[in-house]
Structure 1
Amino acid sequence: MRRLIAAALLGLPLALAAAQAGASDFRSLAEPAILYDAPSKQGKPLFVIQRYTPVEMVVNIDRWVKVREPAGSLLWLERRQLSEKRTAIITAARADIRQKPDAGAPLAFEAVKDVVLELTDKPADGWVRVKHRDGTSGFIRINQIWGL
């Protein structure tokens, strides 16, 4: 029994490290950015992604970061183009943003697919507080956005 408890306690730090390593690291773009197929300006430029768009950081190599963009492609951009500001993008055809984190709460505003919202708090109980660029804020269900 003691060996079982000791093994469990010794494995706990490894389990915590693995859980933290699996956590997604999202950022937004500080400026419009060209996405490349390789970590170099000699790589093939594929397309431009707009300012504030959320991206998931997957690999860091010197001045370059491999990111997953909202459509799911894995591409490269220069690290200097990333911002610490957290944003999310609407994935549902239409999303209701509520005044409180409750489906029965009054509507604060509506947003459609691909609208980018600033995250103003951490998710809790399936909701997250967001702010539109016009300053209006409210709560949205986390299953209607990408970038958390």
Structure 2
Amino acid sequence: MTFPRLIAGITLLLAAAGSQAFDYKTVGAAPAILYDAPSTKGGKLFVVPRGAPLEVVLTYGEWVKVRDFSGELAWTEAKGLSNKRNLVVRSAGVKVRATADEAALAVFTVDKGVLLELAEPANGAAWIKVRHRDGLVGYVKNTEVWGL
């Protein structure tokens, strides 16, 4: 392979990687065990509670390499994850607003680590519609949650 073709190939590969959207899944009905290798024989690192979002980094057969809210990488079985989209609140005292506006009435306030369900696709919007497990619905800034 010639040098110009190699550079062109690397450029295309980097462009494709940069345009790829993040893929998030949510831990299903049972807590997920995270391992240091793609096997139940691997070392168990920790357990992620049901409903927690995980970023899918790589899929390897029936296993996925995931990144959690704290940034840790590990492996888990794909069958334990769902396509439902939940988000984690990044900081304490986040106000969930009645409309997508900073001046809107706060419907409720949530603390760091609280799980919220993504109520509508975000599509890159600055504000996203979320639902609390108690049924309350409102809007938060996309920078105030993790899992998008």
| TM-score band w.r.t. shorter chain | 0.7 to 0.9
Instruction: Tell me what 1:137 maps to.
Output: 137
Normalised by the size of structure 1, how large is the TM-score?
0.85
Instruction: Tell me what 2:27 maps to.
Output: 29
Q: Quick one: percent identity of the two aligned structures? A: 42
Which blocks of at least 5 consecutive residues in structure 2 are unaligned?
1-11
Please give the alpha-carbon distance, in whole angstroms, between the structure 2 residues aligned to 1:111 and 1:67.
Answer: 25
1:18 aligns with 2:2: no
Instruction: Tell me what 2:5 maps to.
Output: none
Instruction: Tell me what 1:81 maps to.
Output: 80
Which blocks of at least 5 consecutive residues in structure 1 are unaligned?
1-13
Q: RMSD in angstroms over aligned alpha carbons?
A: 1.6
Deviations 1:41-79 (A, max 9, x none): 010001100001000000101110000011000100000
Deviations 1:67-103 (A, max 9, x none): 0011000100000011010010001122100000000
Against the structure 1 CA distance between its residues 94 and 22, is the aligned structure 2 distance closer, same or farther, given a 3 Å change threshold?
same
Against the structure 1 CA distance between its residues 19 and 76, is the aligned structure 2 distance closer, same or farther, given a 3 Å change threshold?
closer
* Secondary structure of the corresponding residue to residue 40 of structure 2: coil
